[in-house]
Amino acid sequence: MVPPPRFDSVRFSTYLPDPNQPSQAEAVRVLEEFAAGLGERPAGGARRGLFGFGRSRAKAPAGPRGVYLDGGYGVGKTHLLASLWHATPADPSRKAFGTFVELTNLVGALGFQKTVETLSGHRLLCIDEFELDDPGDTVLVSTLLGRLVEAGVALAATSNTLPGKLGEGRFAAADFLREIQGLAAHFRTLRIDGEDYRHRGLPEAPPPFTDEQVTRAAYATEGASLDDFPQLLAHLARVHPSRYGALTEGVTAVCLTDVQPVPDQSTALRLVVLADRLYDREVPVLASGLPFDRLFGEEMLKGGYRKKYFRAISRLTALARDAQRLVDTHA
């Protein structure tokens, strides 16, 4: 549970705040202070830190025990979260970084109590892409984070949704209001405004290529995959999303033919996870068919998962721009 390859070398110093968005520079300042307060506990058990993180376990401080980075897609939230992980002065074995899905998968693999025991000795738990898509996850994560806070673990998370609004539009959030409010109580929210840095000042993404161009580039690129898009979507339905990272291991480029609109929400959510894993690993995506901004129908882009879909479009577009060199090289 460490930052993925794309964010292995990022630091606060490599984050470039938009001068027109003061909330970005403010987020860096707050997070640098937050990291400085999370050093190793001195002997004797007395510990002090930002927001009272350092006090003894017997007297857990009231109020937020973590920071929550809220903002639109592409404002650098994951960059800042990974920078916080790197800047925290603790042994790497005592801080963890993972997506929300990876955290719930960890509970599934180890069991709830073993997960609590495993993470309780950590100084920091970073959770990227925090989302609550069903009531079961709400209760599970609320209970888990509550136990970790009691054990003195500091929390940091990113999301496109304010803590108190998690789950809204996706399930009967009102029925689980207590759990959602309990989650929100663990965090101090930092709002990060701005436009999508992945496309700031850059030309439009290249239009889709032809099947022949994609196929030729795939065969000419060592380690590239070549898939028919509908067949890939069918295959993803047979692989648990927790394995999508492993699915992409060793792949140097993803080449797709016949990209079409995603047919349903379940398929769309699986594609979002794959897009995240490809983006984490900096794998370029070369495609024919429809452009990526037409993957998700209008109803999907207005529904409860719309922010996930917009994030996927943004990331796939960036990866498509990276992939243009494959065609230029092998033209």
For residue range 210-220, list pLDDT tens digits in order.
Answer: 999 999 999 99
User: What average pLDDT does the structure give for the chain?
Assistant: 79
Domain 5-191: give its CATH architecture. 3-Layer(aba) Sandwich (3.40)
* Least trusted range by pLDDT, from 1-15, 73-87, 125-139, 242-256: 125-139
What type of residue is 116? V
Answer with the residue of higher pLDDT: 87 or 140. Answer: 87
Do 190 and 68 meet the contact criterion of CB atoms below 8 Å apart?
yes
Q: Compute the distance between CA of residue 256 and CA of residue 289 in angstroms, rounded to an integer.
A: 9
- Residue 198: what pLDDT? 52
Contacts 24+ apart (CB under 8 A), 34-42: 34/67, 34/84, 34/154, 34/156, 35/84, 35/87, 35/88, 35/89, 36/87, 36/89, 38/88, 38/89, 38/90, 38/123, 38/124, 38/154, 39/88, 39/89, 39/90, 40/89, 40/90, 40/91, 40/94, 40/123
- Residue 38: what pLDDT? 80
For the ranges 48-62, 98-112, 283-297, the one whose mean pLDDT is highest: 283-297
The answer, yes or no, to whether residue 33 has pLDDT greater than 70, is yes
What type of residue is 111? G
pLDDT (tens digit, 9 = 90+) per residue, 126-158? 988 877 655 666 678 778 888 888 888 888 888
Do 175 and 138 meet the contact criterion of CB atoms below 8 Å apart?
no
Q: Compute the distance between CA of residue 137 and CA of residue 144 in angstroms, rounded to an integer.
A: 10
Do 11 and 35 meet the contact criterion of CB atoms below 8 Å apart?
no
The answer, yes or no, to whether residue 47 has pLDDT greater than 60, is no
What type of residue is 281? R
Confidence of residue 205 (pLDDT cuts 50, 70, 90): low
pLDDT (tens digit, 9 = 90+) per residue, 214-264? 999 999 999 999 999 999 999 999 998 878 888 998 999 999 999 999 999
- Residue 48: what pLDDT? 37
Instruction: Say if strands 124-128 and 187-191 run parallel, antiparallel, or are unpaired.
Output: unpaired
Angle at which helices 135-150 and 112-120 pack, to 10 degrees? 40
The answer, yes or no, to whether residue 174 has pLDDT greater than 80, is no
Closest CA to 12 of 74, 86, 70: 86
The answer, yes or no, to whether residue 182 has pLDDT greater than 90, is no
H helix or E strand, kind and range, residue 161: none
- Residue 52: what pLDDT? 38
Confidence of residue 162 (pLDDT cuts 50, 70, 90): very low
Burial class (CB in 10 A: 0-12, 13-18, 19+), 153: buried
Identify the residue whose tokens are 């376990």: 57
Show the beta-strand stretches assigned E in the chain: 66-70, 95-99, 124-128, 154-159, 187-191, 224-228, 253-259, 285-289
Burial class (CB in 10 A: 0-12, 13-18, 19+), 226: middle
User: What integer is the mean pLDDT of 32-57?
Assistant: 53
User: What integer is the mean pLDDT of 268-286?
Assistant: 91
Identify the residue whose tokens are 């439009």: 204
- Residue 62: what pLDDT? 44
User: What integer is the mean pLDDT of 166-193?
Assistant: 57
User: What integer is the mean pLDDT of 109-123?
Assistant: 90
Q: Compute the distance between CA of residue 314 and CA of residue 275 in angstroms, rounded to an integer.
A: 10
H helix or E strand, kind and range, residue 329: helix 306-329
Domain chopping of the chain, boundaries: 5-191, 203-329
- Residue 263: what pLDDT? 92
